[in-house]
């Protein structure tokens, strides 16, 4: 088969001679090639303006008290007994136990770490590229 190049419309081919009427020539407009890949971006500040939960003044005061007792060398059980002797209750209105004291210190530390990572920048990752034909 011979093909003629149309200089007026370079994307069109015109067959001059064909050995079979079933043969057709597809133009570039009929093919679609796609370069496919995925870009993943990690970030830690998803809607920070909506996530403004902070410790209440009572929670801050309680944490500072527990932290100061812990820094003085008190154990979790001793801190729980001290809080109970002072007439303080847990946020649920119950007696203090050593696991409650541990949780207050642990959660405050974890929150501080999360807030420290909030504005960290991560490099985007790009998957392997592949060609897809249509």
**DSSP-based three-state secondary structure for 133:** strand
Note the pTM of the prediction, 2 decimals. Answer: 0.54
Query: What is the domain partition of the chain in residue ranges?
Result: 2-42+129-133, 57-117
Digit-coded pLDDT (tens) for 15-65: 444 444 445 555 556 667 788 889 888 877 666 666 666 788 888 899 999
Average pLDDT over residues 93-108: 94
> What is the DSSP secondary-structure string of 2-46?
EEEE-SSSTT-EEEEE-S-TT-----GGG--EEEE--EE---S-S
What's residue 9's pLDDT? 53
Output 52-58 pairs: Cβ under 8 A, ≥24 positions apart: 55/108
Reported confidence tier of residue 75, pLDDT bands at 50, 70, 90? very high
SS3 category, 106: helix
């Amino acid at each position: 088969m011979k093909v003629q190049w149309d200089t007026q419309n370079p994307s069109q081919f015109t067959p001059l001679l064909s050995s079979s009427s079933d043969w057709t020539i597809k133009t570039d407009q009929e093919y679609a090639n796609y370069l496919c890949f995925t870009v993943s971006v990690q970030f830690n500040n998803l809607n920070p303006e909506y996530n403004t939960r902070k410790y209440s003044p009572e929670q801050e005061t309680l944490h500072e008290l527990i932290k100061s007792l812990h820094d003085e060398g008190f154990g979790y059980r001793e801190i729980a007994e001290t809080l109970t002797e002072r007439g303080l209750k847990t946020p649920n209105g119950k007696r203090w136990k050593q696991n409650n004291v541990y949780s207050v210190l642990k959660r405050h530390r974890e929150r501080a770490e999360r807030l420290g990572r909030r504005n960290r920048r991560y490099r985007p990752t790009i998957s392997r590229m592949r060609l897809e034909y249509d």
